[in-house]
């Protein structure tokens, strides 16, 4: 069953979500929640969804960057973003333990702020410690687009949205992004917007 995605302005998106207990993680309600979040994320479609985005203040997010989402992207754009398919998985009670000093900038969007995008600086690589959907400890070392997805979803669990980190002059409707910026490099967009 697809769930309703809440939009910016809903108080739940600005609260730090509560960690799940071991018993909650293994419970049937959490399994059902993960499946419903998976379906909701795919229907949107998106590459990640955090529980606060469906109005539930728990530290759980689902992630999946399906190969079919890449089919219309230019190979050079995928390479530039270091974007590769990521299989479906849930992260529970995650913590970013290490971030690379190198920052990368790309446009980002959010299912809770539909129709808009902006350039967001993020760490190129992260190490995330979390629990999986079976309650097992997991360490994820990610770079490129996968690292960006992890940072975006973990931000949601802390009450942050990409607009809190964006380069505000780059904020745009998706229509105008497609018209004016989609085919340009971030460097060229930065120059045009006087972000240098």
Name the residues annotated as catalytic: 153
> Which residues, at least 6 apart from 75, have a Cβ–Cβ distance to it below 8 Å?
none
DSSP assignment of 36-79: HHHHHHHHTT-SEEEGGGGT--BSEEEEEE-GGGGTTS-HHHHH
Alpha-carbon distances of 142 from 22, 96, 100, 129, 196, rounded to whole Å: 25, 11, 10, 11, 28
């Amino acid at each position: 069953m697809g769930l309703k995605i809440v939009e910016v302005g809903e108080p739940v998106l600005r609260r730090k979500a509560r960690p799940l207990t071991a018993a909650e993680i293994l419970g049937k309600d959490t399994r059902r929640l993960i499946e419903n979040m998976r379906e909701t994320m795919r229907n949107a479609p998106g590459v990640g969804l955090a529980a606060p985005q469906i109005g539930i203040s728990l530290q759980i997010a689902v992630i999946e960057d399906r190969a079919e989402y890449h089919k219309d992207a230019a190979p050079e754009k995928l390479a530039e973003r270091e974007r590769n398919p990521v299989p479906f998985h849930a992260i529970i009670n995650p913590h970013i333990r290490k971030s690379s000093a190198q920052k990368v900038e790309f446009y980002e969007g959010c299912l809770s702020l539909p129709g808009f995008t902006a350039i967001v600086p993020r760490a190129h690589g992260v190490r995330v410690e979390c629990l999986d959907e079976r309650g097992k400890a997991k360490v994820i070392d990610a770079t490129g687009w996968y690292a960006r997805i992890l940072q975006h979803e973990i931000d949601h669990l802390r009450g942050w949205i990409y607009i809190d980190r964006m380069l505000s002059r780059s904020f745009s409707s998706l229509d105008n992004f497609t018209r004016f910026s989609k085919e340009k490099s971030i460097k060229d967009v930065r120059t045009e917007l006087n972000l240098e």
